[in-house]
Amino acid sequence: MVTDERFLDHRRERSHPERPARLEAVWSGIEAAGVAEAIVGREPVPATDADLLRCHSAAQLNHLEELHASGGGQVDIDTYMGARSWEGARLAAGAGLVAVEALRQGEADVAFCAVRPPGHHATGTTSMGFCLVNNVAVTAASLAASGERVAVVDIDAHHGNGTQDIFYGDGRVLFVSLHQWPLYPGTGRIDETGEGDGAGTTLNMPLPAGAAGDTYRYGLDAVVVPAIERFDPAWLLVSAGFDGHRLDPLSNLGLTSGDFADLIARIVGLVPTGRCVMFLEGGYDLGALADSAGASLAAVVGVDHRPEPSSGEGPGCDVVDHVVELHGVGT
C-alpha–C-alpha distance, residues 234 and 103, integer Å: 13
| Virtual torsion, Cα 27, 32, 38, 42, nearest 10 deg | 10
From the candidates 121, 158, 179, 327, give the one annotated as an active-site residue.
Answer: 121
| Residue 322 among the catalytic residues | no
Edge-to-edge strands, sheet with 202-207: 111-113, 276-280, 235-240, 150-154, 173-180, 202-207
d(CA 78, CA 279): 21
Tell me the torsion sign for CA atoms 22, 211, 203, 172: positive
Residue 92: partners with Cβ closer than 8 Å, 6 or more residues away: 7, 44, 113, 115, 116, 117, 118, 119, 133, 135
Residue 269 burial (CB < 10 Å; 0-12/13-18/19+)?
A: middle
What are the DSSP E strand ranges found in the chain?
A: 73-74, 80-81, 111-113, 150-154, 173-180, 202-207, 235-240, 276-280
Q: How far is CA 167 from CA 34, 139, 194, in A?
A: 37, 12, 8
Closest CA to 115 of 5, 265, 29: 5
Residues designated as active site? 121
